[in-house]
Structure 1
Amino acid sequence: RSGFITFMSNVDPKFSTISRRTLTRTILPDLYTKMLHGLKAFCSMATFISLTLDLWTDRRQRVFFALTGMNNINEGYY
Structure 2
Amino acid sequence: MNIQNSKIELAKVILDIENPKLIEEIIRLIQSKSTLTEKQKAAIDEAIYSLENNEGVAHNMVMEETRSRYSKYFK
Shared fold by TM > 0.5? Answer: no
Larger relative contact order (C-alpha < 8 A, sep ≥ 6)? 1
Point out the structure with max Rg over C-alpha.
1
TM-score of the superposed pair, with normalisation by structure 1 = 0.28
Q: Give the number of the structure whose residues are more often strand, by fraction.
A: 1
